[in-house]
């Protein structure tokens, strides 16, 4: 696997991949709990069951956790593809997807605090993971593309 994606920070794609894997594990576990109708245990907070069974836990009948699993899975596959190919541009596109995850996390954290009045530690873990991924994406986007990575139409400008 190549670390050419971020020459100034060769560790960055691997940290990004690790965080996406953590987020995927968390969201997938919550998805399994949803479909098996199993209570989500809370050890740090009190409210996991309230949050995960609230009307805010689904969108058009689709569990929010499943949407999170899909989001993290796309990040993992995209990062693997970028690492294998050394394609910086692909990695930058993948990291831009974290904007959606961050905005969704903001909404769901606000819903837990201000609407549901309960906190799910597993949901907050996913929110923290997507926030960290969003923060890391700034490092990726801040690195400029070299002239050979820019599309010909951009060079004509």
Residues 91 and 13: beta-carbon distance below 8 Å: yes
**Containing structural domain, residue 75:** 12-144
Task: Say if residue 6's pLDDT is above 90.
Answer: no
Q: Does 71 reside within a domain?
A: yes
Q: Residue range 80-87: average pLDDT?
A: 93
Number of structural domains found in the chain: 1
Q: What is the mean pLDDT of residues 3-12?
A: 77
Residue 2 domain flag: no
pLDDT-derived band at 95 (thresholds 50, 70, 90) equals very high
Per-residue pLDDT band at 9 (split at 50, 70, 90) = confident
Does position 149 have pLDDT exceeding 60, yes or no? Answer: no
pLDDT in tens, 120-137: 999 999 999 999 999 999
**pTM of structure:** 0.88
> Does residue 65 lie in a domain region?
yes
- Do residues 111 and 56 lie in contact, with contact meaning Cβ atoms separated by under 8 Å? yes
- Among left, alpha and beta (phi > 0; psi -120 to 50; other), residue 14 is alpha
The predicted structure's pLDDT at residue 147: 55
CATH number, position 86: 1.20.1440.130
Answer whether residue 3 is part of any domain.
no
Q: Does residue 18 belong to any structural domain of this protein? A: yes
């Amino acid at each position: 696997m190549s670390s050419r994606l971020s020459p100034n920070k060769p560790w960055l794609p691997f940290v990004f991949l690790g965080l996406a894997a953590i987020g995927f594990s968390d969201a997938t576990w919550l998805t399994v709990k949803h479909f098996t109708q199993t209570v989500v245990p809370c050890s740090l907070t009190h409210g996991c069951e309230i949050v995960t069974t609230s009307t805010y836990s689904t969108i058009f009948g689709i569990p929010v956790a499943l949407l999170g699993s899909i989001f993290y899975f796309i990040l993992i596959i995209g990062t693997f593809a970028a690492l294998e190919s050394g394609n910086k541009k692909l990695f930058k596109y993948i990291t831009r997807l974290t904007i959606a995850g961050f905005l969704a996390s903001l909404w769901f954290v606000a819903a837990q605090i201000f609407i549901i009045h309960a906190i799910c530690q597993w949901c907050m873990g996913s929110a923290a993971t997507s926030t960290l991924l969003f923060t890391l994406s700034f490092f990726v986007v801040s690195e400029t593309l070299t002239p050979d990575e820019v599309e010909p139409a951009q060079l004509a400008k």
